[in-house]
């Protein structure tokens, strides 16, 4: 089923924003950022969701409350277009050096469009990461036609969220609702700027919750429990959304933000009845982290999980048919320290039944290192409760601020790398090296580096493994560069490339 979703899902580049804690103050650049959050009112019936004067099924109150806080985001994206390489058959004929006689990479500009949501009266806006990713300019247009240049404050590709800032005051900030209280079948509205149209409101119902559709995790390593894995636990809705809605608001009938519209499932790329939004419970945490710490603080449980159904339960030899089977516990991880072990089945977190990997990741994703989470596991036919203190990616309990986090990663280079085999090293007469396997976009695409280039030194240090390259890159501070020295197969010449980081 997951593979079918991957085939159907098209990232719709929708855009949206979110409001944070009720009068919750977050220190940011020696200023306080104030967000507005709804009161914890129980939501059990449809009538309870309506505004003060409208009746069930009347969307006017919610539309009027939410629309002023949803903005149009236009971006200018500058990308590098690489010249087509000369086919190997001609390179063999004319010689290796001639084969690399290509013109310099060309820079091309393009325009993109999405949506965003004002979350504070002084100009902070939440949108999707994919709306502002690689943007050289960001423009925010209000419903009253005012236009502002925006600055990207921070992004989180693992949840597809971003925060941008415009310099203005007394703005119409949205109120954050409670996505946990959403019920299946509940009415919701999608507000955004689809297909480059002006502000548009559509209505639908909540079709599902905790939906994982495989958009964000295509490059994740499922066998690394400490890797930065994407969090997908979308609210599914049938409110009509299209390209351009990305980053826009999903609101309840009180006009409160309950999700950020992010994707659609469609064979054509346009609305076909399935839309997906990041729940506001996750948006609150990610946005607060970006504003307070400069980067998202992630807690790690330290397990390799298997989502159970009747078939998988039989395969792993457990009598529990639903839950998260712990296939492995990581040394020095939070789970092992708390007493969890291989063969346990997580059935509850914070008293809430858990039966999907997406749901588990969302619950953990709302918390930071050092937070304690209550976990109930099934072990030997009985349930046991554990208090687990989450850890950071380094195994500690402290938050890692942006200044302490790696300033760059291999992902920023926009390429895939592989280590050389012993046979390749012997053939080339070198003791180590890392091959550039594929260049797709990013910093390397802005240079003359070609696929197949073998990096033997980075910033003056010998490179034998991909991890060594990552370690050097992580030590490069903002504004500094990366000097790569290496060679191409069938050529004894050494090449030097300066890569802006």
Q: Is 385 a catalytic residue?
A: no
- In angstroms, what CA-CA distances link 100 with 84, 96, 104, 135, 195? 10, 7, 11, 30, 41
Residues 6+ apart with CB under 8 A from 235: 179, 182, 188, 206, 208, 209, 211, 250, 258, 259, 276, 277, 278, 279
**How far is 149 from 167, CA to CA, in rounded Å?**
8
Q: CA 439, CA 450: separation in Å to the nearest integer?
A: 8
The active-site residue, picked from 38, 115, 130, 178, is 130
72 among known catalytic residues = no
Residue 415 near residue 379, CB atoms below 8 Å: no
CB-based contacts of 355, cutoff 8 Å, min separation 6: 307, 308, 322, 323, 324, 347
**Angle, helices 357-365/280-293, rounded to nearest 10 degrees:** 40
CB 229 within 8 A of CB 212: no
User: What is the distance between the terminal CA atoms of the chain, rounded to a whole angstrom?
Assistant: 40
| 347: nearest Cα among 310, 364, 366, 322 | 322
Separation between Cα atoms, residue 49 and residue 58, nearest integer Å: 10
The active-site residue out of 16, 36, 115, 160 is 160
Q: Rounded to whole angstroms, what are the CA distances from 64 to 20, 48, 121, 242, 452? A: 20, 18, 17, 21, 56
Q: What is the largest CA-CA distance in the chain?
A: 80
Q: How far is CA 337 from the centre of its chain?
A: 28
Distance CA 357, CA 354 (A): 8
**Residue 130 annotated as catalytic:** yes
Q: Which of 246, 262, 356, 378 is catalytic?
A: 246
For residues 187 and 184, what is the distance between their CA atoms, to the nearest angstrom? 9
Chain centre to alpha carbon of residue 500: 24
Rounded CA-CA distance 230/16 in Å is 19
Burial (CB count within 10 angstroms: exposed 0-12, middle 13-18, buried 19+), residue 113: buried
User: Is-contact 250 238, C-beta < 8 A?
Assistant: no
Q: Which residues are catalytic?
A: 130, 160, 246
């Amino acid at each position: 089923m997951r593979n079918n979703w991957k085939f159907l899902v098209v990232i719709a580049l929708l855009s949206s924003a979110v409001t944070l804690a009720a009068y919750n103050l977050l220190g940011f650049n020696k200023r306080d950022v104030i967000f507005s959050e709804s009161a914890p009112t129980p939501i059990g019936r449809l009538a309870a969701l309506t505004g003060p004067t409208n009746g069930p099924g009347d969307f006017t109150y919610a539309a009027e409350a939410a629309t002023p806080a949803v903005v149009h985001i236009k971006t200018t994206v500058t990308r590098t277009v690489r010249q087509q390489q000369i086919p190997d058959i001609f390179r063999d004929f004319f010689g290796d050096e001639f084969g690399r006689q290509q013109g310099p990479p060309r820079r091309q500009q393009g325009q993109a469009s999405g949506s965003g949501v004002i979350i504070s009266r002084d100009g902070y806006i939440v949108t999707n990461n994919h709306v502002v990713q690689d943007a050289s300019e960001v423009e925010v247009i209000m419903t009253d036609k005012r236009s502002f240049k925006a600055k990207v404050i921070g992004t989180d590709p693992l949840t597809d969220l971003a925060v941008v800032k415009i310099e203005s005051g007394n703005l119409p900030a949205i109120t954050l609702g409670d996505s946990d209280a959403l019920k299946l079948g509940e009415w919701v509205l999608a507000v955004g700027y689809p297909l480059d149209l002006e502000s548009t409101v559509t209505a639908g119902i909540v079709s599902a919750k905790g939906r994982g559709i495989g958009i964000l995790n295509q490059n994740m390593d499922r066998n690394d429990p400490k890797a930065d894995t994407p969090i997908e636990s979308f609210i599914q809705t049938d409110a009509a959304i299209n390209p351009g809605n990305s980053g826009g608001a999903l609101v309840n009938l009180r006009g409160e933000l309950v999700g950020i519209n992010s994707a659609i499932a469609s064979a054509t790329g346009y609305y076909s009845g399935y839309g997906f939004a990041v729940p506001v419970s996750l948006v609150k945490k990610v946005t607060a982290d970006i504003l307070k710490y400069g980067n998202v603080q992630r807690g790690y449980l330290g397990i390799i999980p298997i989502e159970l159904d009747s078939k998988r339960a039989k395969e792993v030899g457990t009598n529990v048919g639903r839950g998260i089977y712990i296939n492995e516990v990581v040394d020095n991880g939070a789970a092992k320290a708390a007493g969890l072990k291989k063969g346990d089945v997580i059935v509850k977190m914070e008293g809430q039944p858990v039966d999907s990997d997406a749901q588990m990741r969302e619950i953990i994703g709302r918390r930071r290192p050092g937070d304690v989470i209550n976990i109930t596991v099934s072990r030997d036919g009985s349930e046991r409760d554990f208090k687990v203190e989450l850890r950071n990616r380094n195994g500690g309990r402290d938050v890692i601020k942006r200044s302490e986090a790696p300033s760059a990663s291999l992902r920023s280079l926009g390429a895939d790398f592989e280590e050389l085999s012993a046979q390749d090293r012997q053939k080339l007469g070198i003791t180590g090296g890392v091959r550039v396997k594929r260049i797709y976009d990013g910093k390397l695409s802005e240079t003359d580096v070609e696929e197949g280039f073998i990096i033997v030194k980075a910033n003056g240090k010998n490179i034998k493994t991909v991890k060594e390259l990552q370690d050097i890159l992580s030590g490069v501070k903002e504004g500094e560069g990366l000097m790569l020295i290496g060679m191409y197969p069938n050529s004894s010449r050494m090449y030097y490339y300066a890569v802006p980081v």
